[in-house]
Amino acid sequence: MKKFILTVLSLFFIFSAGTVFAQGCGDDDEASTDDEGKPKLFGFIQPQYEYHFTEDETNTFKFKRARIGLKGNIPYDFKYYVVLENSAFVSGTGNPYLLDAFITYSRFKWAKISVGSFKQPFGLEVNTACHSLHTINRAGVSDQIVSPQRDMGIMILGGNNETLVKYAFAVMNGSGLGIKDNNTAKDFIGRLTFKPLDFLRVGGSFRYGFPTVDPDSSRTSYAGEIEVKYGDFILQGEYIGDQGHYVRGGGGCGADPVMLGEDRSGVYVQAMYMTPFKLQPVVKFGMFDQDMNNDLTISNVDYSYTITAGINYFFNDNTRLQINYLYNAEKGVDDVFVEELNDALLMQLQIKF
């Protein structure tokens, strides 16, 4: 334990420049303001139309997200960041709720410390700002395995998208937002990325925790990521694995949770290109194996595929239209593809301020 404490303290004092991981809904250095000491109101809304090609076809208008927040600086060296989620479709109760709320001590820019409610520092896609996602939905493996995506805890972090190294390490409850921690153990979560070349960033994430009262109910998660940015072309990929116990009720940003087996994993790859006409075509392939050992008896599905074909149109820097078609396919435990009626067409207009 003494060695662990000394290691953390050493990290705190060694480094001395840079900004931070996105901890909430925004981008890097999100707790800063344009004017020193003046609070800044910010947020974004995402009205959305969905058509689901199920056996009983459905369509609906909804808010994917509707968030408003306040951020600012307290002289000296302290920053604050607070966000409310106002979409009834996310909360499930029809009421707004506190999403992100943290205080950051920022004197040592390579070793900032945040305390409060924020995103787990795990995974590339989960730590991409919600208003900057290239597709309307995150990959199934991101939503189901990296859950809870937000929690209460303390984090030390440093670096940004332009530095050689970028890191974050957090100690969190492991129970999720609005849920009282029911044990004495905590989750240890970390992410580390490297940028060896101007166009290439690689990294990995790790999580170890105890999601239930049972002291033997440990959970281990790991991920590897890659991002290539060459001109107007972007390629991203990520593999996420997870094993052990979990608390049912996951699913990030309103995604429906699914039953998981003892071991689960998945991968996604996505590519996009920004044309001179403010149009950005995007294609994404995702695979999610919710039960690698085939222990579940409640479903005949072994693992599922989702292919997303989409187009993003940018009216300006703060306004974007996204259109996604989701082709879903499932493979049964007998290695036969199960063609369920569950494709979907999604259209979303976003304004951020």
pLDDT tens-digit profile of 119-164?
Answer: 999 999 999 999 999 999 999 999 988 988 999 999 999 998 889 9
DSSP code at position 175: S
| 3-state SS, residue 151 | strand
Who's near 316: CB < 8 A, 6+ residues apart?
A: none
Which among 312, 258, 325, 309 has a CA at the least distance from the CA of 133?
A: 312
Q: How many helices (H) and strands (E) does the chain have?
A: 3, 17
128 phi and psi angles, rounded to 5 deg: -85, 130
Angle of CA points 64, 139, 255, to nearest 5°? 40
> Looking at the domain 2-352, which fold is it?
Porin (2.40.160)
Measured between alpha carbons, how far is 273 from 233 in angstroms, rounded to an integer? 4
Structure confidence at residue 248 as a pLDDT band (50, 70, 90): low
Please say if the pLDDT value at position 17 is more than 70: no
Please say if the pLDDT value at position 166 is more than 80: yes
Structure confidence at residue 247 as a pLDDT band (50, 70, 90): low
> Mean pLDDT score of the chain, rounded to an integer?
86
- pLDDT of 301: 63
Structure confidence at residue 10 as a pLDDT band (50, 70, 90): very low
- pLDDT of 273: 98
pTM of the shown model: 0.86
- pLDDT of 299: 59
Measured between alpha carbons, how far is 56 from 320 in angstroms, rounded to an integer? 31
Which among 245, 126, 249, 123 has a CA at the least distance from the CA of 176?
A: 249
Read off the tokens for 228.
Answer: 């290539």
Structure confidence at residue 306 as a pLDDT band (50, 70, 90): very high
- pLDDT of 239: 98
Structure confidence at residue 272 as a pLDDT band (50, 70, 90): very high
Measured between alpha carbons, how far is 51 from 58 in angstroms, rounded to an integer? 6
| 3-state SS, residue 8 | helix
More confident site: 331 or 143: 143
